[in-house]
A and B are shown apart, each in its own frame.
Chain A
């Protein structure tokens, strides 16, 4: 089966822009906000939100960082890949901030659970909200996103792949059939 393009470059851009507006609306500006993207693609989405928010709010500074959740994953012992110890790069204080956690795809919710634990260990934020480009369902934990690019009904056997220019050379979202 050929892959289905769920979102093309324009649709990805529009979704991210809309989500940035929603963030401003929800938080009434950028005061006290901090973006944390889950590596790898969440990091670049967070940077894009950072750019969008700063542009929209003219001169505001919104800190953005990258989170490596490896040592918080619930399947840590079974991981085969090399563990990066210095994989996170968050150079702002989490304590007292409204954190927007950013990931590309929301699926079981396990990555988000790991990320929340990681963030809480680094400091006590005022709140944590979740922004994802695609919510594909099949949650295994009681987790829901606050900002969603697109909700897609999928089968478990299918894969959703978000591609971003920074990593993949182009912006699009694919639904890959088994």
Chain B
């Protein structure tokens, strides 16, 4: 069934893509070469201004939806047909890299632009989506824009999210004239977007280690995030004998070690666990810590495996608290289901790689992406390109241009196959059913 000839004669322009990517990287760049485009920061807004300009130059009409996502749209010959959407995000972590998200956004632009320049309108509408606030760095909540588009999270919950400076997302959106009704209206009904494809950097080292140029992602691991606070008693560090102490940090430290140990055990499907943040009160060298909070992030593509780990971590937290006469407060900050991506889209992406002779592998994603939210309302696919040494969320993040170009070309081939069904590979669109039908 799968033809192996090249699916389209259209070619992306790698130089143009590189230029646009470099232009975006300049906005919010720090002295260390890191990108600082925290969601809704000035740099983020300027980055969006830049992307709007590039879309306009390409003759692609662009508008903002009710959460602040930018949507560029090329009309299809059948205006009522479900759109083929491609996109990613341009917001960054503090001191992040120039490829995370940006590669997908610029590649999406390049794909749409190439199709538009070919002169023949696609059969189905084509959308370039630039999601807001994919990174959790500002509001402690990731994929805000795609969550709103997928209708995955209640608008009031999103509006109530608060950053470290105490600013509510709702108040920030109000500056753009966005209110609760707009956020609710950002939701796209199932069927409006037929397919969603995203190109992203891997942010790990699997592709590099195996010498592959592209990863076709089969499933996205989802995080379970816990906030665990041990509450003991702050005491004088000199005057309090060891046996009388109720040291909250000592318990938290053992829990940190436990998370690493439990995640290192062999399992049918791996679970990765991280304690990336810790807060100690009162936080003085000569005071026994009275309160310690750890934020635990556990991820897997298997919900049952992750649940097993979570239960073990919770047991350990309670046991550690009991041993030391501490109170423990446990808050589940986030608990998402792992997301399988659309098998037919995966198969199409594999065929495109084969047709172009691009070395690829099928893999899972450990990191969350907008694609996992879009999978709720569309047949979604996700492509990875290699990250040098697996480095990401770091100024040293790097992906070689030929890899980006290869990924963008596969994206173009797949989008072209989906948006112009008359020349699509047989079987791709014909398959009815599936989770989103």
Q: Which A residues have a C-beta under 8 Å from some C-beta of B? A: 68, 71-72, 76, 79, 82-83, 85-86, 88-93, 118, 121-123
Contact = CB atoms under 8 A, between A and B. Distances in A.
A121 B52 contact: no
Contacts of B254: none
A72 B177 contact: no
Interface residues of B, number: 22
Contacts of A85: 45, 48-49, 52, 64, 68, 70, 176
B356 interface: no
B52 A83 contact: no
A91 B49 contact: no
B58 to A, nearest CB: 9
19 contacts: A71-B42, A71-B45, A71-B49, A79-B175, A83-B45, A83-B175, A83-B176, A83-B177, A85-B48, A85-B64, A85-B176, A86-B52, A91-B59, A92-B57, A121-B26, A121-B46, A121-B50, A122-B23, A123-B23
A56 B177 CA distance: 42
Interface string B39-65: 000100110111011001101001110
Contacts of B50: 121-122
B46 A72 contact: yes
Q: What's the dominant secondary structure at chain A's contact region? A: loop
A71 B46 contact: yes
A82 B176 CA distance: 5
B106 to A, nearest CB: 14
Contact of B70 (A79, A86, A90): A86
Nearest to B53: A122
Nearest to B49: A71
Interface in B50-92: 50, 52-53, 56-57, 59, 62-64, 68, 70
B49 A88 contact: yes
Contacts of A68: 49
A160 to B, nearest CB: 28
B27 interface: yes
A118 B50 CA distance: 9
A91 B59 CA distance: 7
Contacts of A91: 56-57, 59
A60 to B, nearest CB: 20
Contacts of B56: 88-91
Contacts of B26: 121
A79 B46 CA distance: 16
Contacts of B63: 86
Return the 4 tightest CB-CB contacts between A and B, nearest first. A82-B177, A71-B45, A91-B56, A122-B53
